[in-house]
Amino acid sequence: MQPDLWVFGYGSLMWNPGFAYEQAVAAQLTGYHRAFCVYSVFYRGTPRRPGLVLGLDHGGVCQGMAFRVAGQHAVTTMRYLRAREQVTGVYRETLVPISLQGAERRQVRALAFVIERRHPGYTQPLTLAHQADLIRAASGRAGSNLDYALNTICHLQQMDCTEPNLSRLVPKLGPVFWQRKFGCDLPARAGSGQALTKQLRGAPVKAPRLRPDQRKRFVYRDRLALGLEARWQNAR
C-alpha cells in the first residue's frame, strides 16, 4: 500500500488545488517565505506584459495549507502539479518539513515548489510599487493577475494570516482594494481585475527569456523529480 502524500500550498494551490485530497489543514513552513518574486508569462501574464506570481523564497516563515492525498493518487497528483507549476521550470520540486496546525499538531514532509533563484524568471527583490505596477497591468491564460493577488490575499485573511508586505501592497494595487479593505466580497472570477487592468495599466515590462542552455537546464529538470515518483510507486 502506497503512503499518503502531503502537498504544501502557499499561493493559488490554497484556493484552487485542482486535485483530489482527503484532508486540508493549515500548516507552517520554516525556512522559506511567500513573495511575489516570479514573472508570469503564461498563466497571469504574457512575455510582453509579464505578471507576478508567488514563490517560496529562502528565509523566514510561511503559513499555508497542507493537503493530504491518498497514496493511490500520489503519483498522478505529482504529475498534475508538475505540469501545472513547471511550465518554465522556475520552481524546484522538493520535499520540505511542515508543521500541521490545529488538532493535528505534528510535523510531516510535504511536496512543495521552491523558487530557483538562478532562473531568469526569478525577479530578485522588487519594490512594492514595482510589484503593484506589474500585477495590475497583466492578464494571462488563467485570467487577471489582480484576481490572482486578490484571491490569495483574501484566503490568507480568512486564515487570520497577516503578512506585512502583502498588507502594504494592497493600497498600491488600486482604489477598489483600498476602499474595500482587501475586497474579500468581490467575486473571485467575475472580472474585477480585468476591469481595473484597463484603468491602471503601467509601463510595459519585458520578461527575460530562457536561453537554449537555460531551457535544457530548467524546463527538463523535472527528470530529477522522478525519484520522488519512484518513492511512491515502489512503496508497499
For a pLDDT cut of 70, what percent of the chain falls above it?
Answer: 76
* Residue tagged 485542482 (cell numbers): 18
The letter for the amino acid at 97 is: P
Angle of helix 74-85 relative to helix 226-233, nearest 10 degrees, comes to 170
Among the four given CATH numbers 3.40.50.620, 3.40.50.2000, 3.10.490.10, 3.10.20.90, the one describing domain 5-212: 3.10.490.10
pTM higher than the cut 0.85:
no
Helix or strand run (H / E) with residue 165:
helix 164-173
Instruction: Give kind and range of the element (H or E) at residue 35.
Output: strand 23-40
With vertex at residue 144, the alpha carbon angle to CA 10 and CA 190, rounded to the nearest 5 degrees, is 100
CA 184 → CA 70, 73, 80, 148, distances in Å? 32, 33, 29, 12
pLDDT digits (tens, 9 = 90+) for 92-147: 999 999 999 988 789 999 999 999 998 889 998 899 999 999 998 899 999 999 88
- The pLDDT, as a whole number, for residue 125 is 86
Cβ contact 15:152 at 8 Å: yes
Q: What is the mean pLDDT of the chain?
A: 82
**pLDDT 10s digits, 149-197:** 988 888 888 888 888 888 888 878 875 554 444 445 443 333 343 333 3
Model pLDDT, residue 208? 67
What sign does the CA torsion over 188, 87, 76, 155 have?
negative
Catalytic residues: 85
Instruction: Determine which of 7-16, 64-73, 151-160, 209-218 has the lowest per-residue pLDDT on average.
Output: 209-218
- Can you point out the beta strands (E) in 44-199? 51-69, 91-100, 107-115, 139-140, 143-144
pLDDT of residue 181: 44
Domain ranges of the chain: 5-212
